Amino acid sequence: MSDILVTGATGFVGGYLVDHLLQHSNDEIHCLARSREHEPAGARIFNQLNRILDSAAEFEDVSYRRAFLRARVHVIEGDVRQSGLGINSSVDTTRFREVWHVASLTDFLVSKRARLFETNLEGGRQVLRFVSENAIPLCNYVSTAFVAGTRSGEIDATAYDGRFPPNNPYEESKRAMEDEILQAAARGRFAYRIFRPAVVVGHSRTGKPDPNSRGLYGFLALALSLKREILKTRPQHFIENKLRVVVEDNHNLNLVPVDQVVSQMAEIASVPQSVNRIYHIVARDGFHAQCYLDILREVLDVDVEFTTIKNQFNAVDYMFERQSARYQCYLRNSKSFDLAQTDCFVKSSQDQYRITRDVWRLLLLKFREQWDMAFLGKSRAGAP
């Protein structure tokens, strides 16, 4: 049994990671979290973890997981951007044997550059300083497979190749943080693991999406918001027109369910010899959304068409292209990620995580349900 510090547990990946560690270890999990104006850090953590358990409860008895949650999750108020992570001096910070640094700002907008660097790089440096000062032997860092930037084709699980520029300040900040870890580890300060997930989507069984609609969900949310706006003045538009989106021919998008991400990271981390390496946490086969366009059309209620040229674009297509500009880099430069390192330590079968036609439909339906509730205040049954 050890004491582990996790950052980012109020978020999508961090929440599932804590739930997974509770089930598959007997560690005490200390979650560093910020309070919000009307919601203290403790309530935020327990609400997030209880939401995950509520969705799992549809499939299995989760009473033992709720008991673990109450007994082994401890909340520490803090902020990664602050010195000492803003942790109150009364907390014994020397007890931690391992840190999972999951917290990050995940926004692709150029206008967020300063905030991205403040959280992802300066915050990350504070975490590394905290690790060193408290003599914590090990830091697991959740990066992204997209540190590969504009590079396409086969991507090695080694330091990113600087000849290929990043697509946005998010990728740039994640690259900079990987550099920091590799440099600090080279000075012998601590052992590390760098995990690089691809595009993280909802749970493969429950379909529960990222509540904050980021990544793929951000792109889908923009399409639904655009549709809502256009229908206000042109109710016939999507009956008479397709929504055309430029996507690289035969594009290979790497989608990875959140339960696969956390189970693979934890499986690798359970082997002490796995330290000081970089791991891709990705689907073995890329996902070809064009093969499942019928499901996208059905769930969005929009006749989406992927195209490589804009010669048939109308004003709404151009408007969507402008609004979704931050996501377009993920619709080209197809990548396949080297899994040799990951395969050395992940022995469990990964078949259950394949995004089949049915899983894709479930993921989209659950996203649509969430979007309808958030923006229309009603369930899908009542949606237009």
Q: What is the 3-state secondary structure (H, E, C) of 185-207?
A: HHCCCCEEEEEEECEEECCCCCC
> Contact with ligand NAP (CB under 6 A): which of 72, 112, 189, 214?
214
Region of residue 201 (phi > 0: left; psi between -120 and 50: alpha; otherwise: beta): beta
The nearer residue to ligand NAP, 145 or 316, going by C-beta atoms, is 145
Smallest gap from Cβ 10 to ligand NAP, in A, equals 4
- Contact indicator for 300, 369 with CB cutoff of 8 Å: no
Helices (H) and strands (E) in the chain, counts: 13, 13
Terminal alpha carbon distance of the chain:
52
> Contact with ligand NAP (CB under 6 A): which of 22, 199, 245, 269?
199
- Indicate whether 11 belongs to the interface with ligand NAP (CB under 6 A): yes
Smallest gap from Cβ 120 to ligand NAP, in A, equals 7
Find the residue with minimal CB distance to ligand NAP: 11
Q: Which two tokens stand for residue 130?
A: 């905290």
- Indicate whether 105 belongs to the interface with ligand NAP (CB under 6 A): yes
> Contact with ligand NAP (CB under 6 A): which of 4, 56, 75, 102?
102
> Contact with ligand NAP (CB under 6 A): which of 29, 75, 119, 362?
119
The nearer residue to ligand NAP, 169 or 241, going by C-beta atoms, is 169
How far apart are the C-alpha atoms of 369 and 362, rounded to whole Å? 10
How many degrees, rounded to 5, is the angle at CA 198 between CA 359 and CA 188? 140
> Contact with ligand NAP (CB under 6 A): which of 144, 213, 241, 370?
144
How many degrees, rounded to 5, is the angle at CA 147 between CA 153 and CA 361? 70
Smallest gap from Cβ 117 to ligand NAP, in A, equals 12
How far apart are the C-alpha atoms of 302 and 308, rounded to whole Å? 19
- Indicate whether 123 belongs to the interface with ligand NAP (CB under 6 A): yes
Question: Pattern 215-244, binding to ligand NAP, x per CB under 6 A?
Answer: x-----------------------------
From 74-82, 156-164, 271-279, 318-326, span contacting ligand NAP (CB under 6 A): 74-82
Contacts of 269 (CB under 8 A, 6+ apart): 98, 140, 193
- Indicate whether 202 belongs to the interface with ligand NAP (CB under 6 A): no
Strands 138-142 and 96-101, sheet pairing:
parallel
Residues 156-175 that bind ligand NAP (CB under 6 A): 174
How far apart are the C-alpha atoms of 262 and 49, rounded to whole Å? 14
- Indicate whether 12 belongs to the interface with ligand NAP (CB under 6 A): yes
Residues found near ligand NAP in the complex (CB under 6 A): 7-8, 10-14, 34, 79-81, 102-106, 119, 123, 142, 144, 174, 197, 199-200, 210, 212, 214-215
